[in-house]
Chains A and B, each alone.
Chain A
């Protein structure tokens, strides 16, 4: 692989990585907030929170797939180097 090409790929993986990290930490914050709210909430509010959690869950699933893919890509890059 040419150096230039390698650097491009490398940067892509790093960008993707940072993106995943940002989104995950944002979700982490949301979950913490929800947890706090859940303790003081009434029944209907609790239901809302649980629904929101489910949404977050699907986002997380997506992120997980992306980060697995990215890990594979990083490994492949390593082997090519």
Chain B
């Protein structure tokens, strides 16, 4: 095959992946137009010129929730594709970071995009994009200029670049409306100057050549906290730079042997508060803690250290008497009470954890007669003698309806939900969550726990359903739950997303003999319990 004709796969909804052969020479316009489910294209060693054609070929080619992937081979051929028209294409394009310098348009960059970036040469690209977006820079020439700088200078002077992008210059007198191409250059110099004011030494000390490790973390830290940092004295920024590694270590659990966390601004402030003096070692930390509250002179600290050392060296006993002698103070007693209360709290939490494990979920088999009496167990009307008998009956005789029940530790059914799956349209709907009132009164935490169990069960159900689904029907995309006043877990359900669109509920009433009109609770308000990610 050497050619794909124009509109060749137009509107092929079932087309999912495409492998283009190496013999391909011509790529017709709009050839994948409206291929809604196309999610992956691979292209090996093709000589055809994709640049001009690709954007139109894939217009509207998108995957509902998924991503549109192009392989790296292909991306490297997309240099002409600078004026992207399709946001998804930008995404896949930008995924390949080497191409970032070619961005010339901003209007297509949306917030989803942020999640696409990994790290860029020692800078957190997410932050950069976020900042760019928050500043609403409309002039994309300017943006491109900046990004160019960022790209090249990220190795050398990220601090300056960071300032630039974080928009410090915008508050200055340089006209924002100017279309002058030197604009970025000027602002950049301005920032440079401004930063130099803070500390020449500090700047010259920065060595950002390292692309990972602490230097990268420091760059991240600077960028995140720039607004606060720029008002801090030079010594503070310098201190942050010099002490970063150490503060990071003390900020991380297990002295840095675990994952290294970037310290927060607060932590630095605390750290410098405690470490007013030079030469504070772990051994002299306690002296600094006490002395630092009252003095700031290094002399006094040094003297204190000398005194303490002498005390140790001469092995001076702690008391004249063999033991401590003191009366219990109010504050000490209070401390003890607090300690016990904290311990109690921890124990209670552990016990609650155990309590949570008391419940298990189960999709009750459709041939189980229990289906017909669930209402009796869960204080609702879905039983043979109740208003909702149609719901009870349908779970046994309709293939798309099944009861989800929650059992307690004694294996008794305490809650139920009737799940209806619309296979053709790919959505699920729970009539409502019904819980035995006794269980709710027994422990106020039970309601929340049971709600979580329902959520867990439905998520699991959706996963399993989508795994085993045949090609005949679409996958499940959403599961809603009805939330009328009859829903026992209404207060928890209402905290979930309200469903965007009211799906037409299943007609349970047609299985009913007692009150033919009753159609469950899902025809009123619905909330989304599970959604395809």
**Which residue numbers of A lie inside 8 Å of B, CB to CB?**
3, 7, 10, 13-14, 17, 20-21, 24, 27-28, 31, 34-35, 38, 50, 53-54, 56-57, 60-61, 63-64, 67-68, 70-71, 74-75, 77-78, 81
Closest chain A CB from B270 CB (angstroms): 29
Pairwise interchain contact B343-A64, C-beta atoms closer than 8 A: yes
Q: Does B354 contact A (CB under 8 A)?
A: yes
Q: Given A3-B410, A24-B337, A61-B336, is A10 in contact with B351 using a C-beta cutoff of 8 Å?
A: yes
A56 to B330, CA, bound (A): 11
Q: Does B242 contact A (CB under 8 A)?
A: no
Pairwise interchain contact A20-B344, C-beta atoms closer than 8 A: yes
- Point out the residue from A3, A56, A74 that lies within 8 Å of B347, measured CB to CB: A74
Q: Does B357 contact A (CB under 8 A)?
A: yes
Pairwise interchain contact B348-A17, C-beta atoms closer than 8 A: yes
- Point out the residue from B332, B337, B347 that lies within 8 Å of A70, measured CB to CB: B347
Closest chain B CB from A9 CB (angstroms): 10
Q: A3-B409, A67-B343 are in contact. List 16 more A-B contacts (CB 8 A).
A: A13-B347, A17-B347, A17-B348, A27-B333, A28-B337, A35-B330, A54-B328, A56-B333, A57-B332, A60-B337, A67-B347, A70-B343, A70-B347, A71-B350, A78-B354, A81-B357
Chain B residue nearest to A73 (CB atoms) is B347
Pairwise interchain contact B337-A74, C-beta atoms closer than 8 A: no
A60 to B357, CA, bound (A): 33
A14 to B348, CA, bound (A): 8
A67 to B343, CA, bound (A): 6
**Which B residues are in CB contact (< 8 Å) with A63?**
340
Pairwise interchain contact B339-A64, C-beta atoms closer than 8 A: yes
Pairwise interchain contact A10-B346, C-beta atoms closer than 8 A: no
**Which B residues are in CB contact (< 8 Å) with A74?**
347, 350-351, 354
Pairwise interchain contact A67-B348, C-beta atoms closer than 8 A: no
DSSP class of A's interface residues: helix, strand, loop or mixed? helix
A27 to B343, CA, bound (A): 16
Closest chain B CB from A60 CB (angstroms): 5
Q: Does B178 contact A (CB under 8 A)?
A: no
Please count how many residues in chain B sit with their CB below 8 Å of the partner chain's CB atoms.
Answer: 24
Q: Does B341 contact A (CB under 8 A)?
A: yes
Closest chain B CB from A26 CB (angstroms): 11
As a 0/1 sequence over residues 309 to 346 of chain B, the CB contacts with chain A under 8 angstroms (1 = contact) are 00000000000000000011110111011011101101
7 A-B pairs (CB sep. < 8 Å): A3-B409, A17-B344, A17-B347, A50-B328, A71-B343, A74-B350, A81-B354
Pairwise interchain contact B334-A31, C-beta atoms closer than 8 A: yes
Closest chain A CB from B335 CB (angstroms): 10
Pairwise interchain contact B328-A71, C-beta atoms closer than 8 A: no
Pairwise interchain contact A53-B343, C-beta atoms closer than 8 A: no
**Which A residues are in CB contact (< 8 Å) with B327?**
50, 53-54
Q: Given A17-B351, A74-B354, is A60 in contact with B346 using a C-beta cutoff of 8 Å?
A: no
Closest chain A CB from B464 CB (angstroms): 25
Q: Does B227 contact A (CB under 8 A)?
A: no
Pairwise interchain contact A77-B354, C-beta atoms closer than 8 A: yes
